[in-house]
Amino acid sequence: AYADRAFASEAADLDPRDRALAMRLTYGAVQRKATLDAITRRLTGRSPRRLQPALRAALRLGLLQILFMDGVADHAAVNESVELAKVAGAPAGLVNAVLRRAVREKEEVLAELDDSTPAGAAEAHSVPAWLATQLWQELGAGEARALLSVINEPAESALRVNTLVAAPAQVSRDLPVHNSPAPGIPEGLVLGGPLALEDSEMWREGAIMGQSRGSMAVAHALDPQPGDRVLDLCSAPGAKTTHMAALMEARGEIVAVERNPRRARSLEQTCVRMRAGCVRVEVTDASEARLDGPFAGVLLDPPCSGLGTLQSRPDIRWRASPEQIEALAQLQRGMLEAAAAATAAGSVVVYSVCTISRAETVSVIESFLSDHGAFGLEDSFQLLPHRDGTDGFYVARLRRSG
C-alpha cells in the first residue's frame, strides 16, 4: 500500500494532535529508512535485512525519535520502542541496548553521516544510490546536497481558496491557524501550523482545497479565461481542474479526461463540492486522439515519477527507478502529441509534472519542439523544494503559431 493511504486508514480514529505525531513518526520512518538501517548496522553489527520485521520497525521508530525528532524525550523513545517490541514478540532487550547506545553516542553517530559524495548522500539523506547520482549529474553537487537536505523535512502546508465560493481575505481571517498570502497567487494561503482540512466546514462547503504553491502555479501558467473551452488531460484528483474552473469564473467548458473510472467518479464529486459546474468529466485515455477539438487551451499533467514531492509522499523515492523514468518519459511524450493535436492556431498547451528529473521535463519538451515547428516555447520554469519552499514542479507553456 502507499504510505499515505495506509496511514489514513490506520490513523482514522486518532484525535488531530495524536494523528499529527503519528504522521511524523510514520512518514519519518519510511523516508529515512536507509539512514536508520545504516545506523542500525553500525550499532548492532548486523544487516537490518536479517532482523525480523517487528524488530526492524521498533529500531527505526526509536532511532528516528532519538536522532532526528525534537519534542520527544530520549527515555520515552527508548521505553515506547521497547514496549512495542514486546507486544510484537521481538527481542526487547536488543532494542533497549541499541537505543540506549544511540542516546549515549548521538553526536558521534550523526557526525559519521557524510553527504560529500553521491554514495554518502544516499545514506545520509536516505535515497536510492541511483537517485543521488542522478541529482549530482543534473543539478551539480551543491544544488543536489541543498535539495537532499530538505527532502525529509515536513512539506509545505498550503491551501487554495475557491473564489467561486469565498474570498481569500475572509478565509484567512476565519482559519484557526496563522497563515500568510502565497506570493504571486492571490487565492493561495501558506499555513503556519497543522490544520485538518477535511474536518473543517469550509472544506465541506467547497471554500478551500489543500494544494501546494507549486501545483497552484500550473493553472496560472495556462491562464484560462471566462468563456474558454479547455481540455484537461489526466485530470484527477482535480485540484488543478477546479482551480482552472475558478479562474474561468465557472463560465465556458473544461473537458476533464481521466482514464481510471474510480478516480473519475472521485473527480466528479470534487467538482460538485468545489462548485465547478463548467467541468465535464470524461473517462478515456489521454493518449487517444480527440475528435471534439480544437480547444483554446490544453493542460497536460501526465503520470510522472513524482520526485518533486519527496517531502509529502514518503515512499515515492523507494518506488521510482531509472527504468520507470524512461518508460514515463515515453508515455509523457505520447500524451503531449495528443494534447498538441487538440489545438488550433493560437492555442496554448501547458505541460506540467511534479518531478525534477531531466528526462521527464526539459528533455520531453526539447524532443517535442524539435519535431513540431508550429509550436514555440513561451515560458518554462522548474520549482525546487529547497529553493522555492514548495513541491518540485516543471511547467512549460507552448503556443501553436498561426
- Catalytic residue numbers? 354
Return the half-sphere exposure (C-beta side, CA atoms, 13 A cut-off) of residue 58.
27
CB within 8 Å of 40: residues ≥ 6 apart: 46, 48, 51, 56, 59, 60, 63, 98
CA pair distance 399, 340, nearest whole angstrom:
9
User: Under a CB-based contact definition with an 8 Å cutoff, are residues 225 and 256 in contact?
Assistant: no
Q: Walk across the sheet containing 179-182 and list its strands.
A: 179-182, 185-191, 158-161, 208-210
CA pair distance 267, 260, nearest whole angstrom:
10
Pairing of strands 229-233, 253-257: parallel
CA pair distance 192, 196, nearest whole angstrom:
13
User: Under a CB-based contact definition with an 8 Å cutoff, are residues 333 and 368 in contact?
Assistant: yes
Pairing of strands 158-161, 208-210: antiparallel
Query: At 46, which helix (H) or strand (E)?
Result: none
Taking CA atoms, 192 is separated from 176, 180, 212, 372, in Å, by 10, 8, 14, 45
CA pair distance 40, 29, nearest whole angstrom:
13
Q: What is the largest CA-CA distance in the chain?
A: 74
* Interaxial angle between packed helices 53-68 and 16-31, expressed in degrees from 0 to 180 and rounded to the nearest 10: 100
